[in-house]
Amino acid sequence: MYRAPGRVNLIGEHTDYNDGFVMPAAIDFYVWIAAAPRSDRKLLLHSTNFSETVEIDLQKSIAPRHHWSDYVAGVAIMLERAGHHLQGANLLIQGDVPMGSGLSSSAAIEVASGLALLENSGLHMDRLELVKLCRQAENEFVGARVGIMDQFVSSCGQAGHALMLDCRSLEHRLLPLPRDVSLVICNTMVKHALANSEYNTRRAECEEGVRLLLRSMPSVRALRDVTLTELEARAGNLPKIIYRRCHHVISENARVTKAAAALDREDLDNFGWLMAESHRSLRDDYEVSCAELDLMVDLARQQQGVYGARMTGGGFGGCTINLVRTDAVNDFQSGVADAYQKSTGRAPQIFVSPAAEGAAEVKK
Ligand code: GLA
């Protein structure tokens, strides 16, 4: 049995695919996979969440079906493509990471599948290689052009810590979270239909920004290589919308670096202020927030004991992440839930999670 966690991102949103910095933590919600070998080359998947069974024949060519099983099939294909000959397996899959809520249930099923398929075949692989293959499965088989943050933290998260990840070098630093503070996740319970198409549009806008900046800055490879001063000096050469997208990414990278320094000195007020700035930038410059996320963040800021609140993940619905003093968590939960339900008619889900350990085999 193997399990891999979902994640929240404390700060550093829409920076991973710009070679930038992110600060996620794994959460105490998982996808679990029990695996048993088969003598043929078939994968028999059963999801208890969907009460569905799917058969995948590794001997035949496999096409995406726009179905939960694509995440497993995609990882199997990428492993085989990388030269790892897989044995058949029966896989029983169950997850408690809320789906479609921006908490990376997809990365969790990919990473758990990768571990299960490898070990079931008596194979071992470097964790970083597995992370890259899982992302490749999502990019090339599932068809979502995501960055590497989710798969990385699902695989490499550490209990009690956030990771500060450099998405270019893939080097990471562990940041211990202060003991008297809790990670509180508020699910707006909405996911707007444009989330996936807008994600790809934002990526294209960042690429367009790089293309235009290259004219006067020939060594730029990604928005990571541009400072705010350099961007501002070229504002007149960029369409307004492209300028704002670049402004978000470049300012967000700077905020992650400052947030890591703030955590190092346990300056949670400063960390919370950076979270607020991040949300503002995502809402106004990157335009990936929505009314429900903005409301959830505003309601959180009205509660006692809250250091910071912002949307987390891709946006257009899903969850906010809140840093709350542990002794204020109960009041926070009821205060936010009541006010959100009163305004929207929807009951939010509110979770408290420790920063959890990354994917692993589950031993008795
Ligand atoms: C999704 C993607 C990540 C990242 C975030 C935004 O979660 O999977 O790679 O781009 O959106 O920060």
Q: How far, in Å, from the CA of 310 to the mean position of ligand 1?
A: 15
Any atom of ligand 1 within 6 Å of the Cβ of 13: yes
- HEC sequence for the chain: CEEEEEEEECCCCCCHHHCCEECEEEEEEEEEEEEEECCCCEEEEEECCCCEEEEEECCCCCCCCCCCHHHHHHHHHHHHHCCCCCCCEEEEEEECCCCCCCCCHHHHHHHHHHHHHHHHCCCCCCHHHHHHHHHHHHHHHHCCCCCCHHHHHHHHCCCCEEEEEECCCCCEEEEECCCCEEEEEEEEEEECCCHHHHHHHHHHHHHHHHHHHHCCCCCCCCHHHCCHHHHHHCHHHCCHHHHHHHHHHHHHHHHHHHHHHHHHCCCHHHHHHHHHHHHHHHHHCCCCCCHHHHHHHHHHHCCCCEEEEEECCCCCEEEEEEEEEHHHHHHHHHHHHHHHHHHHCCCCEEEEECCCCCCEECCC
Any atom of ligand 1 within 6 Å of the Cβ of 150: yes
Q: How far, in Å, from the CA of 164 to the mean position of ligand 1?
A: 15
Per-residue pLDDT, 311: 98
Per-residue pLDDT, 80: 97
Per-residue pLDDT, 195: 81
- Active-site positions read 150
Q: What are residue 87's phi and psi, to 5 degrees?
A: -90, 155
User: How far is CA 268 from its chain centroid?
Assistant: 22
Ligand 1 atom index nearest CA of 15: 12
With a threshold of 0.95, does the pTM exceed it?
yes
Per-residue pLDDT, 101: 94
Q: What is the mean pLDDT of each run of 10 residues along the chain (364 residues)?
A: 98 98 98 97 98 97 96 98 97 96 97 98 96 97 95 98 98 96 98 87 98 98 98 97 98 98 97 98 98 98 98 97 98 98 98 98 90
Which residue is listed with tokens 């929240």? 8
User: How far is CA 252 from its chain centroid?
Assistant: 16
Per-residue pLDDT, 364: 76
Contact 290, 54 (CB under 8 A): no
Any atom of ligand 1 within 6 Å of the Cβ of 313: yes
Which residue is listed with tokens 């400072």? 227
Any atom of ligand 1 within 6 Å of the Cβ of 5: no
Phi-psi region of 176 (alpha: psi -120 to 50; beta: other; left: phi over 0): beta
Q: In what order do the strands lie in the sheet with 349-353?
A: 306-311, 317-325, 181-191, 349-353
Per-residue pLDDT, 193: 79
Q: How far, in Å, from the CA of 102 to the mean position of ligand 1?
A: 8
Any atom of ligand 1 within 6 Å of the Cβ of 332: no
